[in-house]
């Protein structure tokens, strides 16, 4: 039996005023072996986001097949105000399929999609926004420059700028950041070519790195509308990120770029002592 009337009847939705949303897909099935440090690293991720991201930016987390224990911990982080939107999926949907559920319901013009093992540095989002402003063709911008992304979905940049002098190989703005990324994916070192040379694009007054990875990237939401409508067949990797995140950004002839200097760290799956120091800054 219904008694009375809900006070939301005929009340209009006021909409979200934010210009930017951060989405973090998360898969931690247990906390042993490969995943033993995963929640600590994820917590550092969301803590650094709250500490460094402009006020009013909502953070969405999609728990994709995580354990019940992880679900409880995530609810605790939400109660602490570190997470704005939390989706707890008991089924393992895969990275791209879980992302599709949040992106489709978001209306912010810019969406950052990041893995849960990234530590963000001060003003990272302002630096990303500056690249979008300085290079209006940009549809995807990463705060983390990575070696050898210049030949990944960047042919339009090469064709349009190679003979203009706007595209040049230069000394990286943050060689230490490049080495930290290499270490985070299991490389013991970078050779001189990878450490000392990177492809840049200039507009005359500012510069950015050609190409970007997809472990941490901010997208113009309109570019992601070119993604396939059907679910991905892969839980992770395969061709899923290329088809759903990379290719759509160039279907409207957009540029894939990165900040000239490093503004976030990829942590990997193992906690290291230097991370404590960075997190306190």
User: DSSP assignment of 20-55, as one string?
Assistant: EEEEEEE--S-SSGGGTTHHHHHHHHHHHHHHHSPT
| β pairing state of 255-258 and 138-142 | parallel
User: Residue 40 corresponds to which tokens in the numbers above?
Assistant: 């600590």
| Residue 228 within any structural domain of the chain | yes
Per the confidence metrics, is the pTM higher than 0.85? yes
What is the extent of the structural domain holding 27?
Answer: 20-280
pLDDT, residue 212, reads 92
CB atoms inside a 10 Å sphere around CB 222: 13
**Overall domain count for the chain:** 1
Q: How would residue 32 be classed by pLDDT, with cut points 50, 70 and 90? A: very high
Mean pLDDT calculated for residue range 250-254: 84
**CATH number of the domain that residue 163 is part of:** 3.90.550.10
Q: Is the pLDDT of residue 29 over 70?
A: yes
| Residue 4 within any structural domain of the chain | no
């Amino acid at each position: 039996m219904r008694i009375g009337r809900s006070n939301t009847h005929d009340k209009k939705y006021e909409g979200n005023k934010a210009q930017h949303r951060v989405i973090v897909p998360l898969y931690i099935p247990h906390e042993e072996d490969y995943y033993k440090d995963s929640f600590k690293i994820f917590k550092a991720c969301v803590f650094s986001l709250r500490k460094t991201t402009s006020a009013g930016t909502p953070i969405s987390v999609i728990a994709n097949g995580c354990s019940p224990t992880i679900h409880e911990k995530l609810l605790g982080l939400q109660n602490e105000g570190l997470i704005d939107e939390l989706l707890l999926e008991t089924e393992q949907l895969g990275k791209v399929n879980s992302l599709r559920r949040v992106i489709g319901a978001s209306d912010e013009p810019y969406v950052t999609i990041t893995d849960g093992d990234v530590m963000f540095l001060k003003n990272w989002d302002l630096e990303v926004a500056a690249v979008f402003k300085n290079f209006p063709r940009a549809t995807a911008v990463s705060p983390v420059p990575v070696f050898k992304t210049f030949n990944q979905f960047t042919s339009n940049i090469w064709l349009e700028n190679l003979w203009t002098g706007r595209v040049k190989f230069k000394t990286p703005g943050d060689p230490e950041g490049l080495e930290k990324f290499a270490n985070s994916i299991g490389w013991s070192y970078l050779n001189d070519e990878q450490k000392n040379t990177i492809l840049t694009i200039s507009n005359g007054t500012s510069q950015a790195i050609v190409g970007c990875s997809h472990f941490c990237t901010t997208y113009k939401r309109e570019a992601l509308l070119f993604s396939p409508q059907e679910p991905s067949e892969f839980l992770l990797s395969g061709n899923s990120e290329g088809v759903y995140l990379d290719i759509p950004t160039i279907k409207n002839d957009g540029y894939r770029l990165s900040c000239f200097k490093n503004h976030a760290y990829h942590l990997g799956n193992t906690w290291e002592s230097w991370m404590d120091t960075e997190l306190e800054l």
